[in-house]
Structure 1
Amino acid sequence: MRAALRRRLLLAAHTDALAVLDGGIWSTRCLHCRSTLQLRGDGEPLGNTTLEHVVPQAWFGRRAAAVLTAQVGDDADDPRNLALACARCNHDKGKGHDARGPGDVRAHEVVDALLATRLSRWRDPTVPPAS
């Protein structure tokens, strides 16, 4: 696995208020279905843990997504836009809502709700996580 992906996975865990680091393993919940997810302290995902771009990368720069992307800055890899999700949920979102684009009302609603959840779970990256 590429080092850049591991760094993004760790950043998503470190900025997730639900994530707990215990014995070198991060534990948290899927952004979508709330199933338990784990990530090794070096960023290696365990089980079906994947990196979720809450606002899809392809939506950045699209006028229809401007309200959403403004909440996370100009970079799809902004920590506010990164979350951990199980592979099934992440794949389903990718082939459904992400693919329909920000102009689709339902896709926009789903991503808006997920972003609200992610931002409600936000933890300042300068604050050490609970163990």
Structure 2
Amino acid sequence: MRPALRRLFLSAVTTDSEASPDVSGWHTRCLHCRTRLHVGPGGEPLGAASLEHVVPRAWFGKRAAAALTARVGDAPDDARNLAIACTRCNHDKGKGPDARGPQDSRAHEVVEALLSKRLARWRDAPSDDRDGID
């Protein structure tokens, strides 16, 4: 796995208030279905963990998604837009709301609700140790 992708996983998990670190990595729950997920200490996904762009990358730069993208600093890889999800939920979102685009009112509602859920789980990442694991 590329180091840049591992950094994105760590960015998502260290800013998730439901994620807890231990010597084996991070334990959290899927943003969608709440399935237990595990991310290794170096940011590698273990089991069914996948990286979720809450507001889809393809929606950035589209007028219909401007209000959503502004909430994450207009950057798809901003930590506020990253979450850990199980591969099943992430894949289903990609086939459904993500694919329909921000002009579809139901897709917009789904992504807006997920973004609100992600922001409610927000915590500042540890400043002295980016991975936060002792």
Q: Which interval holds the TM-score relative to the shorter structure?
A: over 0.9
Superposed, 1:39-54 pairs within 5 Å as: 39-54=39-54
Match of 1:30 in 2: 30
Report the Cα offset of residue 106 of structure 1.
0.4
Letter in 2 for 1:101: G
**Structure 2 gap segments, 5+ residues each:** none
Equivalent positions of 1:47-126 (< 5 A) are: 47-126=47-126
When the two structures are superposed, what TM-score results if normalisation uses the length of structure 1? 0.96
State the TM-score, normalized to the length of structure 2: 0.93
Cα deviation for residue 10 of structure 1 reads 0.7
Which letter maps to 2:85?
Answer: A
Structure 1 stretches of 5 or more lacking a match? none
Shift, 1:4, TM fit: 0.6
Task: Describe the superposition over 1:20-76 as per-residue Cα deviations: whole angstroms up to 9, x where unpaired.
Answer: 001131000000000000000011111010000000000000000011001001210
> Where has structure 1 moved over 2 Å in runs of 4 or more?
126-131
Deviation at 1:121, TM superposition (A): 0.2
22-31 or 95-104: bigger deviation: 22-31
Q: Deviation of residue 130 (structure 1)?
A: 8.6
- Residue pair 2:32, 2:85 contacting (<8 A) in 1 also: yes
Q: Aligned equivalents of 1:92 and 1:101: distance in 2?
A: 14
For 1:90 and 1:98, how far apart are their aligned partners in 2?
A: 10
Whichever residue aligns with residue 31 of structure 2, its letter is L
Identity %: 64
RMSD of the alignment, in Å? 1.4
User: Could you give the per-residue CA deviations for residues 49-106 of structure 1, whole angstroms, max 9, x where no partner exists?
Assistant: 0000000000000000011001001210000000000000000000110000000000
